Amino acid sequence: MSAGAAVISNAGPLMVLAKLNLLHLLKSLYGRVDFSRSVYTETVIEGMRQGYDDAYRLEDFFRVENWIPQEIDLETMATDLREAHLDAGERDTLGLALAASDVLVLMDESAGREIARKHGVRVRGSLGVLVEAHQRGLIGSEQLRAYFAEMARREDIWVSRALVERLLGEVFADQV
């Protein structure tokens, strides 16, 4: 990713990294990550209301880093985004992305990823963030394997086991 690129996250990667206690990787990898008010509401406000520990971790992390939700103007949003079958967080994340140049979107949901790609926006999911952290030496090989295994095992992280296995195979292909 080029220096100065904006990074905008949807709810999924924020929740996954909070559940794994890896939010610090966002700051290490990207310096700053932006997110919409709807993503904040979903991950922090609703999460805390439902008593999820990761919501409290996210709120603390955002406060310490002084990362605040970005407002989105629905009036200026691309029509295809307003009409797409996306939840508010995905829609607003893509709206922020399309308003920026040189942007990377962190998103796990396939429908949102497909729309992002149609608009020429680079997308990376939770697994991709961990692979990038490994490639940049922020987490070791055994840690990456352990995080992937935990993601595949946990019922509160919705990641395809087949995708986990495929990515591990790709990352460690030269070590077989």
Single-letter amino acid, residue 86: L
**The two three-digit tokens of residue 88, written as one number:** 């508010």
- Residue 7 pairs in a beta bridge with 104
Whole-number pLDDT of residue 2: 47
Whole-number pLDDT of residue 158: 83
**The two three-digit tokens of residue 61, written as one number:** 């992390």
Provide the residue-wise pLDDT of the chain in tens; the chain has 176 residues. Answer: 445 679 999 999 999 999 999 999 999 999 999 999 999 999 999 999 999 999 999 999 999 999 999 988 877 777 777 778 889 999 999 999 988 888 999 999 988 999 999 999 999 999 999 999 999 999 999 999 999 999 988 888 888 888 888 888 888 886 64
**Which residue has tokens 């692979």?**
131
Whole-number pLDDT of residue 99: 87
Render the burial of 94-112: b for 16+ CB within 10 Å, e for the rest. bbbbbbeeebbbbbbbeeb
Q: How far apart are CA 89 and CA 43, in angstroms?
A: 10
Render the burial of 48-87: b for 16+ CB within 10 Å, e for the rest. eeeebebbebbbebbeeeebebbebeeeebeeebeeeebb
CB 151 within 8 A of CB 159: yes
Burial class (CB in 10 A: 0-12, 13-18, 19+), 40: buried
Whole-number pLDDT of residue 46: 97
Q: Rg (Cα) of the chain, in Å, rounded? A: 16
The predicted model scores a pTM of: 0.91
CATH class assigned to 6-125 = alpha beta
Whole-number pLDDT of residue 170: 87
CA triplet 165, 149, 17: central angle to 5 degrees? 110
**The two three-digit tokens of residue 87, written as one number:** 């939840």
> What distance, in Å, lies between the first and last C-alpha atoms of the chain?
28
